[in-house]
């Protein structure tokens, strides 16, 4: 009987091991990364209610939301800025998301009004932008003042002052790349809150430091007013926290479903077709981003893409990755851009030797500034400068060419003089 028991036990162990290994290999490999951020922590209590602290509610919500995602989305990796009661500087929270190459950043908070026992109630979901009202500024100011608890914050944030509206507006204009997707997710969240019977105060914009430095779509959710007795009771209850996290999770699923749909592309053959012929007098580049802002090729907004080229057209900067005359190679570059978080990336054809139509031309943009420099200023390294003013902003350019090929050569000569931030700009009459 004892031998039989040991024998059966061995069989049982083999069966368990077999199914465990099978399960591991059958699970989907993560292809989407989300960073969840529990606001405040440790000596930074955040807002306080009559019996609860914001930092504790935020952490409880984040852990519940993360558990929902991990249980139901095997193709999603969840990254946490904190899972315990610890203090994480604002900029470090963004860096955690950037280093993990997250596709989404969700920061959870509780709101508070000025009164000790407030009458304000309901939810708000914030995206990065210039605050348009005094109330918006006050909310951003309250969250941003956490930096005063950080060591050497003046150096870390380069003189940023949370109490200055101008400072916050200036900082928020740094990153608008992911605004549309951020607003989309924020709208899904607030609609779900509304659907569950909560009072939604809507989607709003302000200059939150924790959102500024992220390189992906991002939202900051104020899940209720902790100094309102009814909201505080709801935020602190198991039922309330479960409903809140389910609302956010459902919004996340809807957002990801749309993301996956955009990312679906035809499979590209890993091996190059032997009969493929190079295109003649044509370059293929992958355009992955268009923005009114000019970023450095190695900025976090590029999400690690290599060989980034910037070309200005119609007052916007177009960002391209790679250059090839093989269709198969351009497909591979396109796939990399999409995997990096740019589902709308596309392949664009360039004819380097063709003359621009309608008397168009290329020039080299050296500098855009609110400051007026002299044409012979040393900053321009002896180049002949054309200075143009528009809405109080000066644009400094040099040279004129009619072909892209000639513009590339001109750009190369300008950069050799030390003007490494120069870019090609297309001018159309």
Q: Is the pLDDT of residue 285 over 80?
A: yes
**Whether residue 15 has pLDDT greater than 70:** no
- Asked if residue 410 has pLDDT above 90, the reply is yes
For the chain, what percent of residues have pLDDT higher than 70? 79
Reference 320, options 310, 312, 333; nearest CA is 310
> Which of the pair, 264 or 141, is modelled with greater confidence?
264
283-427 and 27-262 share a CATH fold: no
Give me the pLDDT at residue 29, please: 59
For the ranges 7-11, 47-51, 207-211, 340-344, the lowest mean pLDDT is seen at: 7-11
Mean pLDDT of 35-50: 94
Q: Residue 197 has what DSSP assignment?
A: T
Nearest residue to 307 via CA among 337, 266, 269 = 337
Band of residue 297 on the pLDDT scale cut at 50, 70, 90: confident
Four-residue CA torsion sign, 320, 101, 243, 128:
negative
- pTM beyond 0.85: no
The pLDDT value given to residue 288: 92
Give the residues across from 320 on adjacent strands.
287, 309
Give the C-alpha separation, 110 to 225, whole Å.
Answer: 6
Q: Which two tokens stand for residue 37?
A: 């951020």
- With bands split at pLDDT 50, 70 and 90, how would you rate the model's confidence at 22? very low
Task: Find out whether 402 and 355 touch, Cβ atoms under 8 Å.
Answer: yes
Write out the H or E segment, with its range, that includes residue 309: strand 308-313
Q: Quick one: average pLDDT of 7-16?
A: 48
Distance CA 297, CA 224 (A): 40
Is residue 94 within 8 Å of 216, Cβ to Cβ?
no
Give the model's confidence band at 153: pLDDT under 50 very low, under 70 low, under 90 confident, else very high.
very low
Q: Which of 90-104, 171-185, 333-347 has the lowest mean pLDDT?
A: 171-185
Strand, helix or coil at 284? Answer: strand
Q: State the pLDDT confidence band at 62, using cuts at 50, 70 and 90.
A: very high
26 has pLDDT over 70? no
In sequence order, what are the residues at sequence separation of 6 or more whose Cβ sits closer than 8 angstroms to the Cβ of residue 146?
Answer: 40, 44, 90
Domain ranges of the chain: 27-262, 283-427
Q: Which helix (H) or strand (E) holds 305?
A: none
Q: What is the pLDDT of residues 312-356, one digit of tens each?
A: 998 899 999 999 999 988 999 999 888 888 888 999 999 999 998
Question: Does position 7 have pLDDT exceeding 50, yes or no?
Answer: no
Rank 28-42, 230-244, 388-402 by mean pLDDT and report only the highest: 230-244
pLDDT surpassing 90 at residue 392: no
Superfamily of chain region 27-262? Zn-dependent exopeptidases (3.40.630.40)
Highest mean pLDDT among 13-27, 63-77, 176-190: 63-77
Which DSSP symbol is given to 307? S
- Which residue would you say has higher pLDDT here, 10 or 160? 10
Half-sphere CA count of 169, side-chain side, radius 13 A:
10
**Tell me, what's the pLDDT at 274?**
55
Q: Which residue has the tokens 């003042």?
A: 145
Question: Residue written as tokens 């002299």?
Answer: 374
Task: Give which of 315, 137, 107 is closest to 213, Cα–Cα.
Answer: 107
pLDDT computed for residue 144 by the predictor = 46
Q: Of 410, 314, 396, nearest to 360 (Cα)?
A: 314
Confidence (pLDDT) at 174? 41
Q: What is the mean pLDDT of the chain?
A: 82
CB count in 10 Å sphere of residue 395: 18
Tell me if 249 sits within 8 A of 240, measured CB to CB: no
Burial of 192 (0-12, 13-18, 19+ CB in 10 A): buried
Query: Could you report the per-residue pLDDT of 81-96, keeping only the tens digit for each?
Result: 999 999 998 888 888 9
- Tokens 């002052």 belong to 161
Q: According to the per-residue pLDDT averaged within each range, which of 10-24, 232-246, 295-309, 350-364 is highest?
A: 232-246
Residue 212 CA: distances (Å) to CA of 88, 130, 143: 16, 11, 13
Averaged pLDDT, 270-292: 79
Q: In this predicted structure, what is the pLDDT of residue 177?
A: 54
Residue 143 has pLDDT above 60, yes or no: no
State the architecture of 283-427 in CATH terms: 2-Layer Sandwich (3.30)
């Amino acid at each position: 009987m004892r031998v039989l028991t040991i024998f059966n036990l061995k069989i049982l162990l083999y069966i368990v091991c077999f199914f465990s290994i099978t399960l591991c290999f059958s699970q989907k490999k993560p292809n989407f990364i989300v960073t969840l951020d529990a606001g405040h922590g440790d000596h930074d209590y955040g807002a306080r209610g009559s019996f609860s602290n914001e930092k504790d509610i935020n952490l409880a919500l984040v852990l519940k939301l993360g558990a929902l995602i991990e249980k139901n989305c095997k193709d999603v990796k969840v990254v946490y800025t904190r899972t315990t009661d610890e203090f994480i500087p604002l900029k470090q929270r963004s860096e955690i998301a950037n280093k993990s190459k997250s596709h989404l950043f969700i920061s959870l908070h509780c709101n508070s009004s000025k009164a000790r026992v407030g009458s304000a109630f309901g939810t708000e979901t914030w995206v990065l932008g210039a605050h348009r009202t005094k109330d918006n500024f006050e909310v951003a100011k309250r969250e941003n003042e956490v930096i005063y608890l950080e060591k050497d914050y003046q150096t870390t944030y380069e003189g940023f002052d949370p109490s200055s509206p101008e400072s916050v507006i200036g900082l928020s204009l740094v990153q608008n790349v992911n605004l549309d997707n951020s607003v989309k997710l924020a709208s899904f969240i607030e609609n779900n809150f509304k659907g569950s019977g909560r009072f939604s105060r809507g989607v709003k914009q302000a200059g939150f430091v924790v959102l500024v430095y992220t390189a992906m779509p991002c939202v900051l959710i104020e899940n209720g007013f902790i100094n309102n007795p009814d909201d505080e009771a709801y935020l602190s209850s198991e039922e309330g926290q479960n409903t809140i996290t389910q609302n956010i999770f459902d919004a996340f699923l809807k957002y990801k479903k749309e993301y996956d749909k955009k990312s679906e592309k035809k499979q590209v053959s890993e091996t190059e077709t032997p009969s493929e012929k190079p295109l003649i007098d044509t370059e293929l580049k992958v355009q992955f981003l268009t923005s009114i802002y000019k970023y450095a090729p190695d900025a976090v907004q590029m999400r690690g893409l290599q060989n980034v080229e910037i070309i200005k057209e119609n007052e916007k900067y177009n960002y391209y990755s790679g250059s090839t005359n093989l269709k198969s190679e351009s497909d591979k570059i396109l796939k990399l851009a999409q995997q990096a978080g740019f589902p709308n990336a596309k392949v664009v054809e360039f004819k380097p030797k063709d003359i621009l139509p309608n008397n168009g031309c290329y020039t080299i943009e050296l500098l855009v500034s609110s400051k007026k420099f002299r044409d012979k200023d040393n900053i321009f390294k002896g180049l002949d400068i054309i200075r143009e003013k528009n809405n109080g902003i000066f644009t400094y350019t040099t040279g004129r060419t009619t072909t892209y090929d000639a513009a590339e050569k001109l750009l190369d000569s300008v950069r050799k003089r030390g003007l490494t931030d120069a870019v090609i700009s297309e001018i159309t009459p």
